[in-house]
Amino acid sequence: MKRDLDALSTNTYDLVIIGGGIFGACAAWDAALRGLSVALVERGDFSQAASANCFKIVHGGIRYLQHGDIVRVRESSRERRALLRIAPDHVRPLPIVVPTYGHGLRGQALMRAAMSLYDALTADRNDGIRDPAWRIPSGRCLSRAETLALFPGLETPELTGAAVFHDAQIASPARLVMAFLHSAAREGADAANYVEATGFLRGGDRITGVRARDALSGQPLEIRGRIVLNAAGAWAERLLARDLGLALPRQLTFSRDAFFIMRKRLNTDHALAVQAKTKDPDALLSRGRRHLFLAPWGGYTLVGVWHKVHRGDPDTMTLTESELPGFLEEINAGYPLGLTPEDVVGWGAGLILFGENAPGATHLSYGKRSILVDHHAAHGLEGLVSLIGVRYTTARGMAERALDLICAKLGASRPCRTETTPLHHNGDFSTGPAQFEPAKCLALVREEQAQTLSDVVFRRTDLGTAGHPGEAALRACAEVMATELGWDAGRVQRELDEVERAYPRRGAATRPQSAGAARAGATQPVAA
């Protein structure tokens, strides 16, 4: 997958995609499989923002039963099935334990009924998944003794046992995005990172392409296409307003979704759902408070997700040191791990489409459905479609809907094949930090457009996402890149300094810092 700006500026494409996160990547693959000529540009690195910083869980939709939202239950189960079928190198089932208490709404009887209903609604959840190890089992209940054997810290007189259901875990969300992009490129798509869409090309009432800037050289370029898909996530609305003066049908709200990576390892391969402090105001039938999750990830534990409404410029999203004690207090109250700031080795945060909430609300309504806008129907402007996604899980399916609309506009009746077509193989399922491998680093630079040391350390690999990998590993990686990309000693040092700034307190207590230049989502490791 080569970064070819000459091709971008000289070709006229059927489809130009703005945004190299999971939604843009899925759209590029879908379009390329349908035989369309495709260009994709991303202002930073591929999956640099929210996509690389999701909680690494593919949700199957069981939690939407409490909303009575059967459509979302079915949609989520279908998309989980699709990912398990087409990307087994990246996704596998994850058992999740939900403790039960007493005999009321929090008891086993209700959970058993809910799981039976869910199993019936998702009876096709394993269709086409050939490997039994990758199939989603039926829900089941655990006795009190079985539950405490897995999670002894749940010991209370009220505990009656637990329910176990399965979602799925993504080894590396950034690697999965790259798998979609690799697959699109193999079908003829052109993709380039560090190319910022600065505006739109327009002829009368039709969009004819994108004005862009090479962020590495500063050189402007124009990318022409019959249709433009705006899949820039939290930046999509700003681009429309700034260049075209367009407003979406409703004002969008985004949540800063944050999670932490803890050095303490759960002694089980099961994840655990524990009660948080807030409630779900949209639930028709509630067990009480929302859940936080502790999920095993290699030798570490992922803890999250915390939500906070973010308003204004997406580049100003931050996660500050002062917030950490409250997060740790909440998770320790749910399950007594005794977590302290020194246990935090990394964190991830990104901006996710959210529900509508009153200012200062404590119990928040979450985003439920992605936004797909045909700007011809909404604004009388042909040649432009916007897709703003709500969940990593549903990206493939929403890309399918977007491409159905785009193909109709192009007069091309071509079916979607992404639900069953395996992705290009680009790695085996593995969780946790990686070891530095010179040959792999070189291949990532040559074939995956890694332009900075941070690209390799935090997104092409998990070398640095769970603590500092060591000065020797970072310098060795930088030297490999320097030889390939022609960096001088000064550039090598600047690249090392940039990575080191992501570890603001090496050798001291670990603390998360402002995401600042992370552009609303780059994973920020902290001191190991």
* pLDDT tens figures, 415-430: 999 999 999 876 665 6
Q: Give me the helices (H) in 316-424, please.
A: 324-334, 375-379, 395-410
* pLDDT tens figures, 198-222: 999 999 999 999 999 999 999 999 9
CB-CB contact of 353 with 254 (8 Å): yes
Query: Given this model, what pLDDT does residue 522 score?
Result: 40
Residue 364 CB contacts under 8 Å (≥ 6 apart), including other chains: 255, 278, 281, 307, 309, 354, 355, 357
Q: Quick one: DSSP state of residue 433?
A: P
Write out the two tokens for 476.
């060795």
Q: Give me the helices (H) in 411-465, please.
A: 438-447, 453-454
Q: Where are the domains of the chain?
A: 5-51+174-251+368-410, 63-170, 438-525
CA 215 vs. chain centroid, Å, equals 23
- What whole-number distance in Å separates Cα of residue 92 and Cα of residue 171? 8
- What whole-number distance in Å separates Cα of residue 144 and Cα of residue 515? 42
**What DSSP element (H or E) covers 243?**
helix 236-244
- What whole-number distance in Å separates Cα of residue 345 and Cα of residue 334? 21
Write out the two tokens for 276.
């948080």
Query: Given this model, what pLDDT does residue 523 score?
Result: 43
CB atoms within 10 A of CB 242: 12
Pick the CATH number of 5-51+174-251+368-410 from 3.50.50.60, 3.90.79.10, 3.60.9.10, 3.30.70.380: 3.50.50.60
- What whole-number distance in Å separates Cα of residue 178 and Cα of residue 187? 14
CB-CB contact of 197 with 41 (8 Å): yes
Query: Given this model, what pLDDT does residue 431 score?
Result: 65
Query: Coil, helix or strand for 220?
Result: strand
Q: Give me the helices (H) in 154-284, please.
A: 173-186, 236-244
The pLDDT tens digits along the chain (528 residues) read 999 999 999 999 999 999 999 999 999 999 999 999 999 999 999 999 999 999 999 999 998 998 889 999 999 999 999 999 999 999 999 999 999 998 888 899 999 999 999 999 999 999 999 999 999 999 999 999 999 999 999 999 999 999 999 999 999 999 999 999 999 999 999 999 999 999 999 999 999 999 999 999 999 999 999 999 999 999 999 999 999 999 887 888 899 999 999 988 888 999 999 987 776 666 656 666 778 999 999 889 999 999 888 888 999 988 888 888 899 999 999 899 899 988 998 888 999 998 776 666 665 566 678 999 999 999 999 999 999 999 999 999 999 999 999 999 999 888 999 999 999 876 665 666 667 888 888 989 999 999 999 999 999 998 888 888 899 999 999 999 999 999 999 999 999 999 988 875 533 333 333 333 333 334 443 322
> Among all chains, which residue has been given the structure tokens 């099961």?
270
Query: Given this model, what pLDDT does residue 362 score?
Result: 64
Query: Given this model, what pLDDT does residue 243 score?
Result: 92
